[in-house]
Structure formats: C-alpha cells, structure tokens
Structure 1
C-alpha cells in the first residue's frame, strides 16, 4: 500500500483538533485528540511537546488573529486601545480557551513577540519600566474578562421574591442591550484615563 498523499498527523491538525475540543468542552486531552484524528496517542507525542506544548500551540493559534500592527500606531494610547480591541476580538471567538491559557506560563515565541512590542510601546511613550507590566496585566485582565462576558447570557441576574432588590431591578431595567460591550467601554476608558495620568505624573517627576 502506498503512502497517503496527505499526512494523517501534523502540528496544524493537532492544534485544530485541540481547539475544537476546547470550544466544545473547555478542555482537551491527548487521547481525545488522537481519537478524533484516528491515530494512536503515542503518535501525537511525536509531533508536540506533550500537553504543555499543545497549550502553547493553542495560544499561538488564538493570538494569531490579534493584529500586532496596532502596536506600531501613534499616539501610544490610541495604539494600545486598538491592540486591546483586537485582543478582545481574538479571544471572544474562543472564550472557553481563556481559563486554560491563563493558568499556564506563556512560552509561545510569537506571543512573546507581541508582549515585547507592547512593552516597547509603553517604554518609548515614557512610562517607567516598573509601571509597564502592571499596566499590561491590568489591560489583559480587562480584555479577557470582557471576552468571557461576551459569551455569558445577556441576563446574568435572576431576581426573586425571596430577596427583594428593588434598586437592583431598577438599575438592570436601565441597562441597554449589549451590556458586555458597554461594560468593556467603561473599563477601557477608565484604564486609559489612569494610564495617561500615570504617564503625566511620571513625566512631571522626571
């Protein structure tokens, strides 16, 4: 029997299958990937560095849809805002991957390159080096939390007569459609306002 023209297994197929599993159930296992691809579990390990290696392939796949060119824009705050919106959109497409990716260290080279560009953007804008990572982590928390919120039900509070909450009911009734988008705009505006103030204060004390 001749060899198949298309390989049964490669890193791209493994990543695609793992991402489908995560989208379906929020998790994956190497045996599950092997069963989906119709191969032996040991064959998968010939192409990837175990489970951790697959997690990093997933991180690269999801992060590949973030536009890194946004970080080349100016001024710095507009560039950071554009990156945050692109980042949110990428992870909103795969919200069930967020808990998986947020609980393992970042090792994927292409993802680290994006962080390098974001750090460079802030350093070049005049931020102190000690301020850079707290800012980026805070922005990432906002972005990923909002991406999860986009996947949540529109109505997240179910009021009952057992716990009278008239003011909460009034506040909920006043919320327009698209509460996740609205909340993201509030958070992003607050973040950028803080970042601008921090940069101004740093420049004044320099």
Structure 2
C-alpha cells in the first residue's frame, strides 16, 4: 500500500486538535490529542517538544488573531489602545485557553516578537526602562480579564428578590446591552490615563 498523500500527523493538525480540546474543556492531554487524531501517543511526540511545546503552538495560534500592525500607529497611546482591542478579540475567541496560556512562560518566537514591538513603542515614547513591563502587564490584566468576561453570560447577577437587593436590581435593569464592552472601555481608558500620568512624571 502506498503512503498517504496527506500526512496523518503534523504540527498544524496537532495544534488544531489541542485547541479544539481546550475550547471544549479548558485543558488537553497528549493522549487525548492522539486518540482524536487516531494515532499512537508516541507519534505526537515525534512532531512536538512535549506538552510545553504544544502549549506554545497554541499560544502562536491564538496570537495569530492579534494584529501587530496596530503597534505602528502613533501616538503611542493610540497604538497601545488599538493593540489592546485586537489582543482582546483574539483571546475572546478562545477564552478557555487564557488560564492555560497565562500560567506558562512565553517562549514562542512570533509572540515574543510582538512584545518586542510593544516594548520598543513604550521606550520610544519615553517610558523609563523599569516602568515598561509593569505597564504591559497592567494592560494584559485589563485585556485578558475582559476577554474572559466576554465569555460570561450577559447577565452575571441573577436577582430573584428585588426587595433584598433593590439598588443592584435597579442598576442591572438600567445597564442595557454590551456591558462587557462598556466595562472594557472604562478600564482601558483608566489604564491609558494612568500610563500618560506616569510618562509625564518620568
């Protein structure tokens, strides 16, 4: 029998399968990937550098949704805001991947290249060296928290008895749609205002 024209296994298929599992259950294992692809577990290890290697492939796949060109915009705060919105959209598409990716070190070269551009943007704007990573970390806190919020129900507070929490019931009735988007806008503007203040005081 001749060899199949399409390989049964490659890094692309492994990444796609791992992301499907993460989207479904928030986690993956190499044996699960192998079973879904109909191969032996050892065959998966021939293509990737263990579980950590698959995590980095997932990071690269999710980060493909981030537009690095946003970091070319000027001034710096406009660029950072555009990058934040693109970053949020990419991770909101795979919210269950966030805990997995945020609890392992970033090693993927293409992802590190985006951080390099963000660092260069802030340094060129005049941020002191020790302030750059705290600023980026704070932005990620806003972005990733909001990306998780987008996966939550529109109404996160279920008030069964209006008389027990009347003010909460009142504001929930008044909030209207797009609560998560509006909350993100407030948090992002607050972050940018603080970053501008820090830069002015530097």
Post-superposition offset of 1:163: 8.1
Post-superposition offset of 1:160: 3.2
Tell me, what secondary structure is at the counterpart of 1:9?
coil
Query: In the alignment, which residue of structure 2 is the partner of 1:95?
Result: 95
Query: In the alignment, which residue of structure 2 is the partner of 1:8?
Result: 8
CA distance in 1, matches of 2:160, 2:176: 21
* Residues 1:56 and 2:56 aligned together: yes
Query: In the alignment, which residue of structure 1 is the partner of 2:199?
Result: 199
- Map 1:95-134 → 2, pairs under 5 A: 95-134=95-134
Post-superposition offset of 1:50: 0.7
Which shows bigger deviation, 174-183 or 163-172?
163-172
Alignment deviations for residues 68-91 of structure 1 (CA, whole Å, 9 cap, x no partner): 111111110000011000000100
Post-superposition offset of 1:158: 1.1
CA distance in 1, matches of 2:153, 2:68: 30
Which shows bigger deviation, 193-202 or 163-172?
163-172
Query: In the alignment, which residue of structure 1 is the partner of 2:77?
Result: 77
CA distance in 1, matches of 2:27, 2:102: 13
Post-superposition offset of 1:67: 0.6
Query: In the alignment, which residue of structure 1 is the partner of 2:30?
Result: 30
Give the gaps of 5 or more residues in structure 1. none
Question: TM-score of the superposition, structure 1-length normalised?
Answer: 0.96
Q: RMSD value over aligned CA atoms?
A: 1.1
CA distance in 1, matches of 2:145, 2:163: 28
2:146–2:180 contact (8 Å) kept in structure 1: yes
CA distance in 1, matches of 2:18, 2:189: 35
CA distance in 2, matches of 1:59, 1:96: 12
Give the gaps of 5 or more residues in structure 2. none
Runs ≥4 in structure 1, deviation > 3 angstroms?
Answer: 160-163
Query: In the alignment, which residue of structure 2 is the partner of 1:146?
Result: 146
Alignment deviations for residues 163-191 of structure 1 (CA, whole Å, 9 cap, x no partner): 81111111211112010000000001101
CA distance in 2, matches of 1:181, 1:72: 24
Post-superposition offset of 1:162: 9.7
2:162–2:169 contact (8 Å) kept in structure 1: no
Tell me, what secondary structure is at the counterpart of 1:134?
helix
Query: In the alignment, which residue of structure 2 is the partner of 1:187?
Result: 187
Alignment deviations for residues 121-162 of structure 1 (CA, whole Å, 9 cap, x no partner): 000000011111111001001101111111100110112339
Alignment deviations for residues 41-68 of structure 1 (CA, whole Å, 9 cap, x no partner): 0000000011110000000000011011
CA distance in 1, matches of 2:59, 2:137: 17
